[in-house]
Amino acid sequence: MIDHPRHVTVIGGGTMGCGIAGLMAVAGSAVTVIEVDRAAADRVAERVHREWADDAGALTRLDTITDVMRTPPETDLVIEAVAEDAGLKAEVLAAAGRAAPHAILATNTSSISISRLARAVHDPGRFLGLHFFNPVTKSALIEIVTGDRTAPQTVELARNWSERWQRTPIVVRDSPGFATSRLGVLLGLEAIRMVEEGVADPHDIDAAMVLGYRHPIGPLRLTDLVGLDVRLAIADYLSAELGDRFSPPRLLREKVGDGLLGRKTGQGFYSWTAKGRPS
Ligand SMILES: NC(=O)c1ccc[n+]([C@@H]2O[C@H](COP(=O)([O-])OP(=O)(O)OC[C@H]3O[C@@H](n4cnc5c(N)ncnc54)[C@H](O)[C@@H]3O)[C@@H](O)[C@H]2O)c1
């Protein structure tokens, strides 16, 4: 058993990829981030350093490349964190698996079926979901999602590694939205419907959950942090898989169509400053 992945490859250098890359580096792994967009690739190191400023020493073991075909063959663990698109995920996982045939392959998908993505990889026994949360710096949970063919040894490795990453693992059988997105997205969608219907404004809806139900963050603020586009993609997938109760509200589609994606674009249900704080 590998007690600790010496080298980790993260595919996708966006919100989650940068957070996960920092966590891996801080835990002692050398890390390669693969980001296809040249401008985004150039920002990866700065983003990771900003998020993990207290552990800057560890971040010297981080490099960024742009081509998934060049996944380092010696890598022990590949974590895919590209957009929530099953075709794209299957494509990059297959390419990374060919380049690093001995690696454990993982996806950070929030909702897509692990068993379905497993069809794209050469060894489904070494493939699973490792669902990290946003922001990775502060989120204590890792949702380990097992596909039909994930081997028990792979789950065991993931449990051990989660503890090394100082995160608490839960193990969930592959089903649409797993445990977290299925519940969390439903609450977020209902909160958006309440804004749409004029029940209350976003601040007050969020305060209802934070003060009334002791949630650490309200569902609309969380939607802004996650990204409205990311939540829309998950809602579309879950409504196809689980039915109309996950149908995205009109307001969510409109905001995504207008490019109001939440914190990353400066405007969603809240306005955000350039430093990423709600204004
Ligand atoms: N945002 C969240 O709060 C959150 C939380 C948990 C899980 N997730 C999941 O994590 C995944 C990534 O979400 P995100 O919010 O980081 O998205 P994001 O849009 O911020 O980042 C995705 C990155 O992948 C890059 N990319 C696209 N195609 C690529 C390719 N072929 N090779 C390499 N890079 C490529 C994009 O250029 C982009 O920078 C999604 O599956 C999402 O559902 C997101």
**CA of 230 relative to ligand 1 center, distance in Å:** 9
| Whether residue 249 sits in one domain with residue 225 | yes
Residue 271 within any structural domain of the chain:
no
CATH label of the domain that carries residue 74: 3.40.50.720
Tokens read off for 109: 């998908």
Burial 74-88 (b: 16+ CB within 10 A, else e): ebbbbbbbbebebee
Tokens read off for 202: 């976003």
Confidence (pLDDT) at 4:
87
**CA of 261 relative to ligand 1 center, distance in Å:** 14
Hunting for tokens 């196809």 — which residue is that?
240
Tens digit of each residue's pLDDT, the chain (279 residues):
567 899 999 999 999 999 999 999 999 999 999 999 999 999 999 999 999 887 767 778 899 999 999 999 999 999 999 998 999 999 999 999 999 999 999 999 998 999 999 999 999 999 999 999 999 999 999 999 999 999 999 999 999 999 999 999 999 999 999 999 999 999 999 999 999 999 999 999 999 999 999 999 999 999 999 999 999 999 999 999 999 999 999 999 999 999 999 999 999 999 999 888 888
| Whether residue 219 sits in one domain with residue 94 | no
Residue 62, number of CB atoms within 10 A of its CB: 23
| Whether residue 137 sits in one domain with residue 226 | no
Confidence (pLDDT) at 2:
67
Confidence (pLDDT) at 132:
98
Q: Is the C-alpha dihedral spanning 165, 167, 168, 172 positive or negative?
A: negative
For residue 118, which phi and psi values (nearest 5 degrees)?
-60, -25
Confidence (pLDDT) at 198:
98
Using alpha carbons, list the distances in angstroms from residue 11 to 2, 32, 72, 125.
21, 8, 12, 20
Confidence (pLDDT) at 56:
67
**CA of 213 relative to ligand 1 center, distance in Å:** 30
List, chain by chain if needed, residues with CB within 6 Å of any ligand 1 atom: 11-17, 34-37, 40, 68, 81-84, 88, 92, 108-110, 133-134, 226-227, 230
Longest dimension (CA), the chain: 55
For residue 76, which phi and psi values (nearest 5 degrees)?
-90, -25
Confidence (pLDDT) at 276:
82
Mutate to test the pocket of ligand 1, among 9, 16, 23, 116 (most ligand atoms within 8 A of CB): 16
**CA of 82 relative to ligand 1 center, distance in Å:** 3
- Last residue within a domain, chosen from 173, 193, 220: 173
Residue 1 within any structural domain of the chain:
no
Domain that holds residue 16: 7-173
| Whether residue 13 sits in one domain with residue 141 | yes
Reference 221, options 259, 265, 271; nearest CA is: 271
| Whether residue 89 sits in one domain with residue 13 | yes
- Atom 6 in ligand 1: residue holding the nearest Cα: 133
Q: pTM of this prediction?
A: 0.90
Specify the ligand 1 atom closest to the Cα of 132.
6
**CA of 15 relative to ligand 1 center, distance in Å:** 7
Q: What total of structural domains would you count in the chain?
A: 2
DSSP state string for the chain: --SS-SEEEEE--SHHHHHHHHHHHHTT-EEEEE-SSHHHHHHHHHHHHHHTGGGGGGGGGEEEES-GGG--TT-SEEEE---S-HHHHHHHHHHHHHHSTTSEEEE--SSS-HHHHHTTSS-GGGEEEEE--SSTTT--EEEEEE-TT--HHHHHHHHHHHHHTT-EEEEEES-TTTTHHHHHHHHHHHHHHHHHTTSS-HHHHHHIIIIIS--SS-HHHHHHHH-HHHHHHHHHHHHHHH-GGGPPPHHHHHHHHTT--BGGGTBSSSBB-TTS-B-
